[in-house]
Amino acid sequence: MRDRILTKVQATIGFISGVTAPKLVNHKRIHTPKDVIEDIRELYGVEISYQQAWRAKERALEILKGKPLDGYKQMPRYIWMLNKVYPNSYIRMQRTEDNQFMYLFITLRPLVRGFDYYKLVVVVDGAHLGRAYKCTFVSVSTLDGAGCILSLAYGVVDTENDLIVHAYGIFGRIFQQDEIPCAHTIAVLKHKNVKDMHPYCSDYYKPDALAKTYEVAMVPMPDKEDWTVPDYVLDEIVLPPRYRRLVG
């Protein structure tokens, strides 16, 4: 009797995950366990528990993205391809003595090449990642001469250490003023019959600097199916961080 009940519960979660998976394809879409409960209620008139919905969503994510453990195994392959496609990039991965993942920082060469031509003001932000291994995604960005957001670097760190502070230390730069005349200044210059505003504006905002920012082409990565990686890279071992048991 017990085996029959367990089989039924497992099949129910498998069925729900199949229904839920298509709604998780778009990573920007927020679809919570409560949404899963509502979907099953509306589609099939069946009530499921929050725990069933949560487990079904986790199963659906595994269907789409694979298990988190497999993702860590792919890191050496991913890093090797990045170095091949974007040579002279700054890419660093740190592991413990037991080969457990600690952190990864990536700054690609095309973005580093334009570093002298955009504003020396950067923003470092972090977002906590979900699922079994609780890490933090760190991103570093700035503004180009046209005022558009330009990504400089990104990485993943272990939330139980001070590597987020380390990220600030690596990517932090001295903050400077805008160095662009405000409307009042322009009005005064016009009143003084100044025709050429260029000497009063930072070089960061001039067309030549903007062009040099994107001088090195950002070629796309090839499809994963076309990656050719040496055996010694495939033999590298990267284990996930210590498992963090979820609350509840």
pLDDT for the residue 121: 66
For the chain, the average pLDDT equals 76
pLDDT for the residue 1: 44
Task: Give residue 112's pLDDT band: very low, low, confident or very high (50, 70, 90).
Answer: confident
CA 44 → CA 35, 41, 243, distances in Å? 14, 6, 36
Residue 85 has pLDDT above 90, yes or no: yes
Task: Give residue 132's pLDDT band: very low, low, confident or very high (50, 70, 90).
Answer: low
- Residue linked to tokens 């003023």: 177
pLDDT for the residue 178: 44
pLDDT for the residue 12: 77
pLDDT for the residue 176: 38
Residue 7 has pLDDT above 50, yes or no: no
pLDDT digits (tens, 9 = 90+) for 186-213: 666 676 677 776 666 666 667 777 777 7
pLDDT for the residue 133: 66
Task: List the chain domain ranges.
Answer: 2-66, 72-234
pLDDT for the residue 169: 53
Which range of 8-12, 142-146, 201-205 scores highest in mean pLDDT? It is 142-146
Q: Are strands 101-107 and 123-128 parallel, antiparallel or unpaired?
A: unpaired
pLDDT for the residue 184: 52
- 3 state SS for the chain: CHHHHHHHHHHHHHHHHHHHHHHHCCCCCCCCHHHHHHHHHHHHCCCCCHHHHHHHHHHHHHHHHCCHHHHHHCHHHHHHHHHHHCCCCEEEEEECCCCEEEEEEEECHHHHHHHHHCCCCCEEEEEECCCCCCEEEEEEEEECCCCCEEEEEEEEEECCCCHHHHHHHHHCCCCCCCCCCCHHHHHHHHHCCCCCCHHHCCHHHCHHHHHHHCCCCCCCCCCHHHCCCCHHHHCCCCECCCCCCCCC
User: Which has more confidence, 248 or 231?
Assistant: 231
Interatomic CA distance for residues 191 and 43, integer angstroms: 70
Four-residue CA torsion sign, 196, 198, 201, 207? positive
* CB atoms closer than 10 angstroms to residue 101: 22
pLDDT digits (tens, 9 = 90+) for 47-81: 888 999 999 998 898 888 887 778 888 899 999 99
CA 22 → CA 39, 131, 214, distances in Å? 12, 19, 37
pLDDT digits (tens, 9 = 90+) for 172-186: 443 334 444 455 556
pLDDT for the residue 67: 78
Residue 9 has pLDDT above 60, yes or no: no
User: Which has more confidence, 18 or 129?
Assistant: 18
φ and ψ of 116, to 5 deg? -80, 0
φ and ψ of 94, to 5 deg? -115, 135
137 has which bridge partners?
A: 127, 156
Mean pLDDT for the stretch of residues 113-138: 72
- Quote the Cα angle for 152-142-81, to 5°: 10
Mean pLDDT for the stretch of residues 121-138: 74
Whole-model pTM: value is: 0.64
Q: Residue 215 has which token pair?
A: 């001088």
Which range of 6-20, 26-40, 132-146 scores highest in mean pLDDT? It is 26-40
**Smallest Cα–Cα separation from 141: which of 158, 129, 120, 124?**
124
pLDDT for the residue 192: 65
